[in-house]
Structure 1
Amino acid sequence: MRRYLAARPWLTVHRLPAYAPDLNPAEGVWANLTTGLGNHRFDRLDDLKAAITARLRRLQHRPDLLTGFLAHTGLSLSPA
């Protein structure tokens, strides 16, 4: 890996810890999806699917919230 990276000076690599939920924007999405559900039990798989779909649709219309999940990590989609 070191030789590979040395041959590509344009490539910047940042080592991340093996487990870093604070650097994963999907954790914010998951937390938002599960807020208010508590230990809710769904009797049917279709009910669970409907609940997830409704919550994802709500997020789909909130790009500011999705951007916030990324901003919370301190990461950026733009190259340095």
Structure 2
Amino acid sequence: MFLPAYSPELNPDEQVWNHAKAQLSKCSIFNKEDMKRCMTSILRSIQKRTSLIKSFFRMSDTKYILASSKIDCQYFRND
């Protein structure tokens, strides 16, 4: 499948970072250690939330991945 050279909205990883940045904005950060601790916690939280990860592949811009892959689409429909 052809993808434009610059198209971050087509990359599910970008949704991970968008979610992480939104969560990070709620943290009190005073130094680099605070930021690292908070970001690590956020990423671990995302990692444990299967339904959230699946949602990144259900977005209108990223549905092409399921349609063009051998991934079992049923897995992404059920939580």
Match of 2:47 among 60, 64, 75: 60
- Cross-structure match for 1:31: 18
How many angstroms does 1:57 deviate by?
Answer: 1.4
Pick the structure with more helix per residue: 2
Secondary structure of the residue aligned to 1:18 is coil
How many angstroms does 1:66 deviate by?
Answer: 0.5
Q: TM-score, normalised by structure 2?
A: 0.68
Distance in 2 between residues matched to 1:78 and 1:17, nearest whole Å: 18
Q: TM-score, normalised by structure 1?
A: 0.67
Which structure 1 residue ranges, 5 or more long, are not aligned?
Answer: 1-13
Q: Percent identity?
A: 33
In the alignment of these two chains, the number of paired residues is 66
- Cross-structure match for 1:79: 70
Which structure 2 residue ranges, 5 or more long, are not aligned?
Answer: 72-79
Q: CA RMSD in A?
A: 2.4
- Cross-structure match for 2:30: 43
Distance in 2 between residues matched to 1:78 and 1:27, nearest whole Å: 19
